[in-house]
Amino acid sequence: MTLLAGSAVVADLAAREPKCYSKDVNDWFCLDYVRDRSDEIQQATTTHLQITVTAVLLGLALAFPLALLARRLPRLEALVLGLSTFVYTIPSLALLPLLVPLTGLTKTTVVIGLGLYCLTILVRAMLDGLRSVPDEVRESATGMGFGRTRLLLRVELPLALPVLMAGLRVATVSTVALTTIGTVVSEGGLGKLIADGKSTEFNAELMTGAVLCVLLALVLDVVLVLAQRGLTPWTRRVRTA
Indicate whether 174 pLDDT > 90. yes
Nearest to 173 by CA among 130, 223, 232: 223
Cα angle 98, 99, 103; round to 5: 150
7: in domain: no
37: in domain: no
237: in domain: no
User: Which range of residues forms the domain containing residue 65?
Assistant: 43-231
Mean pLDDT of 154-175: 89
Mean pLDDT of 125-130: 90
**CA gyration radius for the chain?**
24
Determine the pLDDT at residue 29: 84
Quick check: 187 and 107 in contact, CB under 8 A? yes
184: in domain: yes
Maximum alpha-carbon separation in the chain: 98
Integer Cα distance of 84 and 78 in angstroms: 10
161: in domain: yes
Which amino acid, one-letter code, is at 201? E
Report pLDDT digits (tens) over 190-241.
888 888 888 888 888 889 899 999 999 999 999 999 998 888 777 665 554 4
Integer Cα distance of 161 and 179 in angstroms: 26
Of 183 and 238, the one with more pLDDT: 183
Mean pLDDT of 179-195: 84
pTM: 0.84
Per the structure, the count of domains in the chain is: 1
Report pLDDT digits (tens) over 138-161.
778 777 777 777 878 787 888 888
Report pLDDT digits (tens) over 48-59.
999 999 999 999
Determine the pLDDT at residue 116: 92
Integer Cα distance of 75 and 66 in angstroms: 13
26: in domain: no
Determine the pLDDT at residue 182: 84
239: in domain: no
User: Mapped to the 3 state alphabet, what secondary structure does the chain carry?
Assistant: CHHHHHHHHHHHHHHHCCCCCCCCCCCCCCHHHHHHCHHHHHHHHHHHHHHHHHHHHHHHHHHHHHHHHHHHCHHHHHHHHHHHHHHHHCCHHHHHHHHHHHHCCCHHHHHHHHHHHHHHHHHHHHHHHHHCCCHHHHHHHHHCCCCHHHHHHHHHHHHHHHHHHHHHHHHHHHHHHHHHHHHHHCCCCHHHHHHHHHHHCCHHHHHHHHHHHHHHHHHHHHHHHHHHHHHCHHHHHHHHC
Nearest to 136 by CA among 164, 155, 113: 155
Please measure the distance between the N-terminal and C-terminal CA atoms of the chain and give it in whole angstroms. 82
Report pLDDT digits (tens) over 4-47.
444 444 444 444 555 677 767 777 888 888 888 888 889 999 99
- Sorted by sequence, the CB contacts under 8 Å of residue 159 that are 6+ apart come out as 132, 133, 137
Determine the pLDDT at residue 19: 65
Mean pLDDT of 76-86: 88
Determine the pLDDT at residue 10: 43
Position 99 confidence tier, pLDDT thresholds 50, 70, 90: confident
Determine the pLDDT at residue 103: 84
109: in domain: yes
Determine the pLDDT at residue 1: 46
Of 200 and 1, the one with more pLDDT: 200
Determine the pLDDT at residue 13: 44
CATH code for the domain in which residue 82 is found: 1.10.3720.10
Determine the pLDDT at residue 17: 52
